[in-house]
Amino acid sequence: MPLRWRLALLFALGTAFVIATAGLLFLQQLTAGLNNSLDSTLRMRADAEVARLASARPLPPLPPPPPSESRDRGQQEGQHGQSPGSDDITQVLARDGTVLATTDPAGRQPLADTTQRWAAPHAPVRFTTTVEGEKYRMLAVPARLGAQPVLVVVGTGSHLVEEATARTSTALWIAGPPAVVLAGLGAYALTGSALRPVERMRRRLADISEHDTTARLPLPSTRDEIATLAITMNAVLDRLAQALARERSFIADAGHELRTPLTTLKAELELARRPGRPHHALVDAITAAADDTDRLIRLAEDLLVLARADEGHAFLRTAPTAPADILTRAVHAASARAHPRGVRLNLHADAQVRIVADPDRLRQAVDNLLDNALRHSPDGAVIDVTLSTPHGPGADVAVIEVRDHGPGFPPAFLPLAFERFRRADAARARAGGGAGLGLAIVRSIAEAHGGSVVADNPEGGGARVRLELPLAPGPPA
Ligand SMILES: Nc1ncnc2c1ncn2[C@@H]1O[C@H](COP(=O)(O)OP(=O)(O)O)[C@@H](O)[C@H]1O
Ligand SMILES: [Mg+2]
């Protein structure tokens, strides 16, 4: 069932329930209030009668039975001489039920039955009875007629109470159902207007196709939850569009990077295919082709790592790791390449530091940093590699720094250094073999570990890259 119908039904049912409950309570209170006032009148009349009987000498004989026609002619008095209203009846009964005195409409039958006559001497008894088709509210109290214990039974017509309740319930029956229908209709109209922007948003969302990434949801003029939803949805669409744009440019860049070595590879192979090529030229062509293939493989591996790093932590196979060991091995391997150029690598590593990391990925990140440092170091320069844990508050990180003494990062390039396919000098870097993915991979690996990486040009020249990784939770020092 549509939400609109459900809400309308709910409102109608709720209103019906409220009206019914309130109506019943009101009727109950009304009846109780009217009966209370009848009761207090009865009480006063009974008290007066009791007092009158106490002072009376033996009762005069009962009057002859009244002509029992219409009661409209008014109250035919008993010999008690009182003047009650037309609905009032009074009887004086002996304990055995003999009617000693009675007012006209009460007739000669005792108004109180045996049970009531038995109970009345102990406490006043309230009851209702019907006389000549009229309902009466009755009160029986003990009294004395000289030495004789008697009962005074007074009653008053309760048709006013019934009329009042009947009129009230009629009013409720007349007004209730339309109120219920109105509540339902109101809820239906209200939810309709509240949901209209939702329907508009739904239609627009359905329209926003994969290629129409610029379209956004219309913002309703109301400042309610639906407007907030539209704002949030637009933010999600923005993020999706950005992600899509990033993805597309990544694929475009990757395609571009792949095309260059593939083109040279093809050219070299074309050249080698030409008839009459001397043997050494063939060997040269095949060597060059093998180099290009290596570059392609490296590029494919880098792209794979980046794609998988987008999964975050899930692509890591972490274990408690001593980064000092990894740095030692990486520096050792790099030293072999640095040696011919007289470049020296200095390692200062705190062997106590433990982190939870994927050793292979961490090594890859360090290798990328050392590779850059080596490439940008002038011959005979020194590269400093340190592993430390900074002191002070919030210092639960391991810091790996690689610093060279080359030209440093071009300042304008620093903010972009960790983006994919970014190179400060594309033409020169390509000769060195980089596609601009090295630092991007370092950042992906750092972030997958819950860490971060920054680059700067420290005083004294050169470039510095600082990799921060969270320390392994260990026993407090
Ligand atoms: N130690 C460094 N000194 C100066 N420039 C650097 C250094 N490391 C990286 N860069 C600059 O940052 C760019 C991006 O580096 P990187 O992501 O490793 O890509 P790649 O090594 O493939 O060129 C490099 O092309 C280079 O211009
Ligand atoms: Mg690099």
pLDDT digits (tens, 9 = 90+) for 62-73: 443 344 333 333
Position 69 in a domain:
no
The pLDDT of 118-124, averaged and rounded, is 85
Task: Identify the CA nearest to 79 among candidates 54, 97, 98, 53.
Answer: 53
Position 210 in a domain:
no
Q: What is the total count of domains within the chain?
A: 3
Q: What is the domain extent for residue 244?
A: 225-308
Answer with the residue of higher pLDDT: 373 or 281.
373
What pLDDT score does 62 carry?
40
In which band, very low, low, confident or very high, does the pLDDT at 475 lie, cut at 50, 70 and 90? low
Is 423 a pocket residue for ligand 1 (Cβ < 6 Å)? yes
Looking at 165, 181, 216, which one is the last position of a domain?
165
- Residue 415 C-alpha to ligand 1 middle, in angstroms? 12
Position 212 in a domain:
no
Q: Which helix (H) or strand (E) holds 385?
A: strand 382-388
Q: To the nearest whole percent, how much of the chain has pLDDT over 70?
A: 90
Position 201 in a domain:
no
Is 363 a pocket residue for ligand 1 (Cβ < 6 Å)? no
Ligand 1 atom index nearest CA of 437: 17
For residues 238 and 366, membership in a common domain is answered with no
pLDDT digits (tens, 9 = 90+) for 430-466: 456 578 899 999 999 999 999 999 999 999 999 999 9
The pLDDT of 153-181, averaged and rounded, is 90
Mutate to test the pocket of ligand 1, among 439, 443, 444, 453 (most ligand atoms within 8 A of CB): 439
What pLDDT score does 81 carry?
39
CATH number assigned to the domain comprising residue 441:
3.30.565.10
The pLDDT of 141-168, averaged and rounded, is 87
Q: Which residue has the tokens 């409720």?
A: 172
What pLDDT score does 418 carry?
95
Could you tell me the two tokens for 410? 């071009």
In which band, very low, low, confident or very high, does the pLDDT at 209 lie, cut at 50, 70 and 90? low
For residues 408 and 435, membership in a common domain is answered with yes
pLDDT digits (tens, 9 = 90+) for 290-338: 988 998 998 999 999 988 887 777 788 999 999 999 999 999 999 999 9
Q: Could you write out the DSSP letters of every residue in 298-316?
A: HHHHHHHHHHHHTTGGGG-
State in Å, rounded, how far the first CA of the chain is from the last one. Answer: 64
pLDDT digits (tens, 9 = 90+) for 87-108: 788 888 888 888 888 887 777 7
Task: Answer yes or no: is pLDDT of 180 > 90.
Answer: yes
For residues 466 and 327, membership in a common domain is answered with yes
For residues 254 and 363, membership in a common domain is answered with no
What pLDDT score does 79 carry?
40
The pLDDT of 45-66, averaged and rounded, is 67
Q: Which of 72-76, 213-217, 355-359 has the lowest mean pLDDT?
A: 72-76
For residues 339 and 444, membership in a common domain is answered with yes
Position 181 in a domain:
no
For residues 424 and 443, membership in a common domain is answered with yes
For residues 296 and 326, membership in a common domain is answered with no
Task: Identify the CA nearest to 270 among candidates 284, 260, 285, 259.
Answer: 285
Looking at 165, 186, 210, which one is the last position of a domain?
165
Name the pairing type of β-strands 319-321 and 344-349: unpaired
Mutate to test the pocket of ligand 1, among 305, 343, 372 (most ligand atoms within 8 A of CB): 372
CATH number assigned to the domain comprising residue 23:
3.30.450.20
What pLDDT score does 218 carry?
82
Is 463 a pocket residue for ligand 1 (Cβ < 6 Å)? yes
Ligand 1, atom 3: closest residue by C-alpha: 408
For residues 26 and 110, membership in a common domain is answered with yes
Name the pairing type of β-strands 319-321 and 452-456: unpaired
The pLDDT of 328-357, averaged and rounded, is 95
Looking at 308, 341, 365, which one is the last position of a domain?
308
pLDDT digits (tens, 9 = 90+) for 367-422: 999 999 999 999 999 999 999 998 766 678 999 999 999 999 999 999 999 999 88
For residues 37 and 93, membership in a common domain is answered with yes
- Residue 373 C-alpha to ligand 2 middle, in angstroms? 9
- Residue 409 C-alpha to ligand 1 middle, in angstroms? 8
Ligand 1, atom 25: closest residue by C-alpha: 423
Query: Residue 400 CB: number of other CB atoms within 10 A?
Result: 28
**Highest mean pLDDT: which range of 25-29, 157-161, 245-249, 423-427:** 25-29
For residues 94 and 243, membership in a common domain is answered with no
In which band, very low, low, confident or very high, does the pLDDT at 120 lie, cut at 50, 70 and 90? confident
What pLDDT score does 215 carry?
82
Residues, CB-to-ion distance under 5 Å, ligand 2: 372, 434, 438
Instruction: Provide the mean pLDDT of the chain.
Output: 85
b/e sequence 134-168, b meaning 16+ C-beta within 10 Å:
eebbbbbbbbebeeeebbbbbbbbbeebeeebeee
In which band, very low, low, confident or very high, does the pLDDT at 57 lie, cut at 50, 70 and 90? low
b/e sequence 184-223, b meaning 16+ C-beta within 10 Å:
beebbeebeebbebeeebeeeeeebeeeeeeebbeebeee
Q: The whole model's pTM is what?
A: 0.62
For residues 146 and 276, membership in a common domain is answered with no
- C-alpha distances in angstroms, 101 versus 135, 137, 170, 302, 376? 21, 19, 40, 118, 131
For residues 422 and 460, membership in a common domain is answered with yes
The angle, 0 to 180 degrees and rounded to 10, between the axes of the packed helices 225-273 and 159-207 is: 20
